[in-house]
Amino acid sequence: MNLGELEALLALIASVGPRVVIEFGANSGRTAKAILRNVPGITRYVGIDVPQTYVTEKIVQRREVPERPGELALDDPRFRLLLARHGSHDLTEDDLPAACAAFIDGDHSAKGVRQDYRLAKARVRKGGIIIFHDDNGRDTVDVSVVLDDLADHGAEIIHVNGTWLAFERV
């Protein structure tokens, strides 16, 4: 994450008083560990990722596939890692708990962002929040293009100025 983004992410997640959080793209578990440490009231945290053998669609993400997914958060009993061969593409909404917050920072292809958003919309309760990372306008990832399209079709996506974060209140 860029300077100041973790603090912004923590504030956004804390703003909904979450009990359950879902993270698409848990990577090493660093973000999960920070959220679990700094946001009170969380009883369950589900991190989703892929095995080390997974090949990402976006070339820029190929070096981001974790060697040991979730490793930094595995010692917290509230954390559960969902490791799926193709990440969230292998999941349905029934595989995920109802949640108060979702953080989307996994597959940055258009298909991946749309799948993660679809799952998050199905599982995040009213009054919750969906947060996206890598809304940076760069063409190496499809996050900004997808968010712009979602906004053009009625989603109330808000970009956090000075960061690569965006969010939607549910």
Domain boundaries, the chain: 5-169
Q: What is the pLDDT of residues 102-158, one digit of tens each?
A: 999 999 999 999 999 999 999 999 999 999 999 999 999 999 999 999 999 999 999
Report d(CA 165, CA 42) in Å as an integer.
21
The residue-averaged pLDDT of 48-60 equals: 89
Give the number of C-alpha atoms closer than 13 A to the C-alpha of residue 31, restricted to the C-beta side.
28
Report d(CA 41, CA 121) in Å as an integer.
22
Report d(CA 159, CA 131) in Å as an integer.
10
Predicted confidence (pLDDT) at residue 59 exceeds the cutoff of 90: no
Q: What is the pLDDT of residues 70-103, one digit of tens each?
A: 999 999 999 999 999 999 999 999 999 999 999 9
Predicted confidence (pLDDT) at residue 2 exceeds the cutoff of 90: no
Predicted confidence (pLDDT) at residue 56 exceeds the cutoff of 90: no
The continuous run of DSSP H or E covering 152 comes out as helix 143-152
Q: What is the assigned CATH class of domain 5-169? A: alpha beta
Q: Which of 24, 26, 40 is nearest to 115 (CA)?
A: 24
What is the gyration radius of the CA atoms in the chain, in angstroms? Answer: 14
pTM exceeding the 0.85 threshold for the entire prediction: yes
What strand order describes the sheet that includes 165-169? 79-83, 44-49, 20-24, 99-104, 124-133, 165-169, 158-159
SS3 state at 142: coil
Q: Which of 50, 42, 53 is nearest to 20 (CA)?
A: 42
Under DSSP, the state recorded for 159 is E
The residue-averaged pLDDT of 29-45 equals: 98
